[in-house]
Copies of this chain bind each other. A is one copy, B any other.
Amino acid sequence: MAASGIETALRMLEGRWKMVIIFHLFDRGTLRFSELERAIPGVSQKVLINQLRELEKDGIVERQVYPQVPPKVEYKLSAWGEQMCPALDLLLEWTAQRPQGNAET
């Protein structure tokens, strides 16, 4: 069943903050951990790291560590991660086409 492929995709995208992270990275290119922290006020360190790790292991974002005196770690979308954006756009379009504002009552 074709659902399995999409389920895989959805699994990778699911997580309270992943989309937010992805959009920030798409928007600003490369961000340090602390920059992400500041860019996304609602998220806790633990969860942010968690979601970043998952995105990394799924190959969506890349993590670059600079072995410096004060640690420095940069995150950015992988090439493949960027390729996801058209799909997200289409999904966005689809939600926009929702008939008669079924905003939740």
A contact residues vs B (CB 8 Å cutoff): 1-3, 5-10, 13-14, 19-20, 22-23, 57-59, 79-80, 83-84, 86-88, 90-99, 102, 104
Contacts and interface: CB of A to CB of B under 8 A. Distances in A.
Q: How many copies does the complex hold?
A: 2
B6 A10 contact: no
B97 A83 contact: yes
Counting chain B CB atoms within 10 Å of each CB, which of A13, A79, A94, A102 scores highest? A94
Contacts of A98: 59, 80
A92 B5 CA distance: 6
B10 A19 contact: yes
A26 B44 CA distance: 39
A102 B59 contact: yes
Contacts of A20: 1, 3, 7
A95 B97 CA distance: 24
A87 B91 contact: yes
Nearest to A105: B57
13 contacts: A3-B22, A6-B91, A7-B19, A9-B95, A14-B14, A59-B99, A80-B94, A83-B94, A83-B97, A86-B90, A87-B87, A87-B93, A91-B91
